[in-house]
A and B are shown apart, each in its own frame.
Chain A
Amino acid sequence: MNVRIRVPTQLRELVAGAAVVEVAVGGGGDGRATVATVLDRLAAQHPALERRIRDEQGRTRAHVNLFVGSDNVRDRDGPATPIVAGEELSIIPAVSGG
């Protein structure tokens, strides 16, 4: 299935200005894709975008929030949060800084 990933304004220059990119993912062992498998696919298609979201160890950067639909994945199963057909993954910077 294809998963739509919403790209925040600050990162769109990395994907030729696109507000949304799509990645094709297969189902996992239980037939479902997860946030991690979607981001693995994103790393192959748009590595410069993906590394803004995860570090080399695959950890989501501290001030980046990922939402599946309206749920922050930190409040669900983190990278293991499932994504089903029709759901979107949104990349949203935390309100932080100085």
Chain B
Amino acid sequence: MTMTAAAEQAVGTKDAIVLVGTTKGLFTLRSGDGRERFELTGPTFAGEEVYATCIDARSGATRLFTGSISNHWGPVLRRSDDLGATWTEDEQAALRFPEDAGASLARIWQLAAGPADEPDVMYAGVEPAALFRSDDGGRSFSLVDGLWDHPHRTQWQPGGGGLCLHTVLVHPDDPDRLLIAISAAGVYRSDDGGSSWRASNRGIVVGFLPEGEDLEFGQCVHKVARDAGDPERLYLQHHGGIYRSDDGGGAWTAMTGIAGMDFGFPVVAHPSRPSTAYLLPLESDEYRCTPDGQCIVWRTTDAGETWEPLTTGLPQRDAHVTVLRDGFTTDGQDPAGLYVGTRTGEVYASTDDGDSWRLLAEHLPPVMSVRAAPIAV
């Protein structure tokens, strides 16, 4: 068999699995020839809204997780140990509020792997805004009381999607250093494994509140990503504004390199190249679609000082699309596979760090989450 140019270029990279969570179930894209072609399967859990998925290979075997919700039957966490061929749900709910919390799980927003050398540790971010931790590979989770009992919690206000904890970042050098983000409460950090938390939003201007210049919390942080080279460097997409921190979230500085574009949902860091990150800005918080009908991914390779538009293969006419906070991800490889899912049901991919893109799927239900990872050939 003759290898195509793309396949030759991809030698050394592994095939990828892409979990596409939609409002009507889970779809899976899987490549078989070095990320050149992908096969789509699904829907699994047809009719359920899949806001969170996780692909976890820390233990050596790949585990998949989904957090979904049925409009009728409520939220459910499922796990697959065979790349999605079969899924299991634990008899006792893995993820539920304890009785004395006085709350019920409304939606699972984030499923995040814990430290690399602790493969049984996972985190879940949920609505109402709360963090859960698992120490048994996702079979059971416990509420992180330190955040739930935070005195700010009763003052947190929901964003448009609900009062959700949607981002969990574990520091790669210190598993006790956790960063979470909540819409619309902002960033909170813990240095003691979650026992105590402090708001960490200094410098993030809240344009939608009259006193928004110097608020301790109340920011509508949409997503945070950590730089591949410097773990203290973070990129943040706010409801209005893009920010960078060079001290692990202690202070945030506005990045202004994309003229006039400050609204958007996702931010993605390159998985291995320092100072490299991606944004997909949208036009204003009134419209929330790609501006001028052009779908553009922006890339920085200098930690946000400058940004370049990436358009090759992305629609540049009449493309009024929306990409939500977890609709943009990377598969962790180098060159990076990048995957974008839209609310209009398209999935675009790049396997060359964003230089060029192609359509992997269309006519899917609205995409709420995309996660990707390499798989063994």
Contacts and interface: CB of A to CB of B under 8 A. Distances in A.
Contact of B104 (A11, A53, A55, A96): A55
B93 A51 contact: yes
B71 interface: yes
A78 interface: no
B91 interface: yes
A52 B74 contact: yes
Contacts of B91: 47-48
Interface stretch (B94-102, B180-188, B226-234): B94-102
Given A47-B91, A48-B89, A56-B96, A61 B73 contact: yes
B72 A94 contact: yes
Given A47-B92, A47-B93, A56-B97, A61 B74 contact: yes
Interface in A31-66: 47-48, 51-53, 55-57, 59, 61, 63-64
Nearest to A49: B73
Contacts of B102: 57
B73 to A, nearest CB: 4
B29 interface: no
Interface in A44-94: 47-48, 51-53, 55-57, 59, 61, 63-64, 93-94
A11 B74 CA distance: 12
A41 to B, nearest CB: 16
Given A48-B91, A56-B104, A57-B102, A63 B71 contact: yes
A63 B47 CA distance: 14
Interface centre among B73, B96, B102 (most CB of A within 10 A): B73
Interface string B39-66: 0000000010000000000000000000
B105 interface: yes
A97 interface: yes
B43 to A, nearest CB: 15
Contacts of B71: 63, 96-98
Contacts of B96: 51, 56
B72 A56 contact: no
Contacts of A53: 73
A46 to B, nearest CB: 9
B103 interface: yes
A52 B73 contact: yes
A34 B240 CA distance: 52
A52 B99 CA distance: 17
Contacts of A57: 99, 102-104
Contacts of B105: 55-56
A75 B242 CA distance: 51
B103 A61 contact: no
A64 B92 CA distance: 20
Given A56-B96, A56-B99, A10 B73 contact: yes
Contacts of A10: 72-73
Contacts of A11: 73
Contact of A51 (B47, B72, B74): B74
A10 B103 CA distance: 26
A94 B71 CA distance: 10
A64 B73 CA distance: 7
Contacts of A48: 89, 91, 93
Nearest to B89: A48
B72 A59 contact: no
Nearest to A92: B72
B103 A56 contact: yes
A28 to B, nearest CB: 21
Interface in B14-43: none
A97 B72 contact: yes
Given A52-B73, A52-B74, A55-B105, 14 more contacts: A10-B72, A55-B74, A56-B99, A56-B103, A57-B104, A61-B72, A61-B74, A63-B71, A64-B72, A64-B73, A94-B72, A96-B72, A97-B47, A98-B71
Interface of A: 10-11, 47-48, 51-53, 55-57, 59, 61, 63-64, 93-94, 96-98
